[in-house]
């Protein structure tokens, strides 16, 4: 039985390649998907440029959104509507519009906070979560008939899982390279600059690459210079450029992630890209993903204290045997273990079919 899914996302179009890969795989399992943005405007994939583009849309009212959803129903007739990250305030309006949309719902919950009231009003439904911890938290808070499905994040990304580990980058050569994920919070990024100061004072050859939005770079660069970090010791790269991140992780000796307020949006995807690149990960965040990484010997704990963190990072940079083995285990996790996309796809299909069955029974 073919299941038709209307998938609503607030993810920027330049970050959608992993999702497009998944939707393409699901087509082989009788799942047809229409992908739309928070304005219910179709997101279209151009295979020639590997890009995703969307038509411009003014901010709609709740009534206008509902009319757009109804027009989609007339042409596509979805069995299930999938809302990606309903906690996202960007999706508040479309979630409210769904109250008048007579189709079963699947909510992809990625945060531990209680669901907003306008989402609670749409229950029961199928709920998919990326970790056992989140499933336990949300199951404990629910008394309705919502069904929960574990759909783990995967390590399939553009440019990942290359057969060999690249150890040289055009801007770095053979100097030790540490890549930091760069949380969206400025305070966390300043932490990375301070950590770069500690690292480069211990080893001037170290290069720190920071994943950070362009608007924050001048202020961070000034802060780094005041701390004695030279421009050649601290590189900035863009969150919009996934291939650049893959290239840097492929050349990196270590990947560092320090969580932030929303780790399932920032920290965990970064860790999964590091696994796919075969790069050991050091992170302060503790969850199912990072615990699995550390238990497998593919990474280590990153202390919140800057002095201790710098000491541990430098110790691991001076230990090529540990880095080689941890990188091999990271790639093994990405290829075979808990983050395998085939397992995740099967769980997602089960969630869709369960939701479609609820609708048919109703």
- Is 292 inside a domain boundary? yes
pLDDT at 184: 45
- Is 171 inside a domain boundary? no
* pLDDT mean across residues, the chain: 79
pLDDT at 124: 73
Q: Give the count of beta carbons closer than 10 Å to the beta carbon of residue 2.
A: 10
Please tell me which residue, 101 or 337, carries the higher pLDDT value: 101
In a shared domain, residues 14 and 124: yes
Angle formed at CA 91 by CA 85 and CA 340, multiple of 5 degrees:
25
What is the pTM assigned to this prediction?
A: 0.71
- Is 67 inside a domain boundary? yes
Please tell me which residue, 174 or 129, carries the higher pLDDT value: 129
In a shared domain, residues 85 and 184: no
Q: What residue numbers bound the domain in which 274 lies?
A: 177-336
In a shared domain, residues 206 and 259: yes
- Is 191 inside a domain boundary? yes
166 has a pLDDT exceeding 50? no
In a shared domain, residues 185 and 265: yes
CATH number at 315 reads 3.40.50.2000
In a shared domain, residues 57 and 73: yes
Total count of residues recorded for the chain: 362
Angle between helices 341-361 and 17-27 (to 10 degrees): 70
> How confident is the model over 264-321, as pLDDT tens digits?
556 777 888 888 888 999 988 776 677 778 888 999 988 888 899 899 999 999 999 9
Per-residue pLDDT averaged across 70-84, rounded? 89
In a shared domain, residues 327 and 356: no
164 has a pLDDT exceeding 70? no
In a shared domain, residues 117 and 262: no
In a shared domain, residues 81 and 139: yes
- Is 161 inside a domain boundary? no
pLDDT at 158: 41
Closest C-alpha among 107, 47, 104 to residue 77: 104
- H helices present in the chain, as ranges: 17-27, 62-76, 92-97, 117-120, 132-140, 186-202, 217-226, 242-251, 267-277, 288-295, 306-317, 320-336, 341-361
Measured CA to CA, the distance from residue 279 to residue 202 in angstroms comes to: 22
In a shared domain, residues 330 and 183: yes
360 has a pLDDT exceeding 50? no
Measured CA to CA, the distance from residue 316 to residue 326 in angstroms comes to: 10
In a shared domain, residues 200 and 313: yes
Q: How confident is the model at residue 107 (pLDDT cuts 50, 70, 90)?
A: very high
- Is 227 inside a domain boundary? yes
> How confident is the model over 207-227, as pLDDT tens digits?
998 877 777 888 889 999 999
Beta strands in 37-116 (DSSP E): 43-46, 51-54, 80-84, 104-108
Q: Which of 100-104, 180-184, 259-263 has the largest mean confidence?
A: 100-104
- Is 167 inside a domain boundary? no
Using DSSP's 3-state secondary structure scheme, residue 177 falls into: strand
pLDDT at 113: 80
Measured CA to CA, the distance from residue 105 to residue 236 in angstroms comes to: 40
Q: In the chain, how many domains are there?
A: 2
pLDDT at 170: 56
Per-residue pLDDT averaged across 184-198, rounded? 74
In a shared domain, residues 140 and 184: no
In a shared domain, residues 129 and 27: yes
pLDDT at 163: 41
Tokens of 83: 């809302």
Matching residue, tokens 């993903």: 289
Measured CA to CA, the distance from residue 81 to residue 46 in angstroms comes to: 23
Beta carbons of 150 and 129 less than 8 angstroms apart = yes
- Is 242 inside a domain boundary? yes
Beta carbons of 276 and 157 less than 8 angstroms apart = yes
């Amino acid at each position: 039985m073919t299941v038709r899914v209307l998938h609503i996302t607030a993810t920027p179009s330049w970050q959608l390649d992993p999702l497009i890969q998944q939707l393409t795989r699901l087509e082989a399992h009788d799942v047809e998907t229409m992908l739309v943005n928070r304005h219910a405007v179709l997101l279209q994939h151009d295979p020639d440029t590997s890009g995703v583009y969307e038509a411009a849309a003014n901010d709609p009212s709740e009534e206008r959104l509902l009319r757009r959803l109804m027009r989609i129903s007339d042409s596509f007739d979805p069995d299930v509507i999938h809302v990606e990250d309903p906690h996202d305030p960007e999706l508040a309006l479309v979630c409210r519009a769904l109250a008048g949309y007579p189709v079963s719902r699947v909510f992809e919950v990625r945060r531990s906070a209680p669901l907003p009231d306008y989402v609670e009003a749409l229950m029961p439904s199928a709920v998919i979560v990326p970790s056992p911890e989140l499933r336990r938290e949300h199951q404990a808070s629910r008394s309705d008939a919502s069904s929960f499905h574990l759909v783990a994040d995967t390590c399939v990304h553009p440019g990942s899982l290359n057969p060999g580990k690249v150890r040289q980058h055009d801007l770095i050569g053979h100097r030790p390279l540490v890549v930091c994920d760069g949380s969206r919070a400025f305070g966390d990024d300043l932490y990375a600059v301070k950590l770069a100061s500690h690292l480069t004072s211990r080893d001037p050859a170290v290069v720190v690459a920071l994943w950070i939005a362009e608007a924050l770079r001048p202020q961070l660069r000034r802060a780094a210079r005041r701390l004695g970090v030279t421009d050649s010791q601290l590189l900035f790269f863009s969150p919009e450029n996934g291939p650049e991140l893959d290239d840097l992780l492929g050349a990196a000796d270590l990947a560092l992630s320090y969580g932030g307020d929303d780790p399932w949006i920032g920290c965990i995807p970064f860790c999964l890209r590091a696994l796919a690149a075969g790069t050991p990960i050091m992170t302060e965040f503790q969850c199912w993903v990072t615990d699995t990484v550390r238990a497998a010997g593919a990474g280590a704990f990153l202390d919140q204290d800057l002095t201790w963190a710098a000491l541990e990072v430098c110790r691991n940079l001076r230990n090529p045997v540990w880095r080689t083995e941890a990188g091999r285990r990271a790639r093994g996790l990405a290829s075979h273990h808990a983050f395998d996309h085939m397992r995740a796809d099967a769980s997602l299909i089960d969630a869709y079919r369960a939701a479609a069955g609820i609708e048919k029974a109703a």
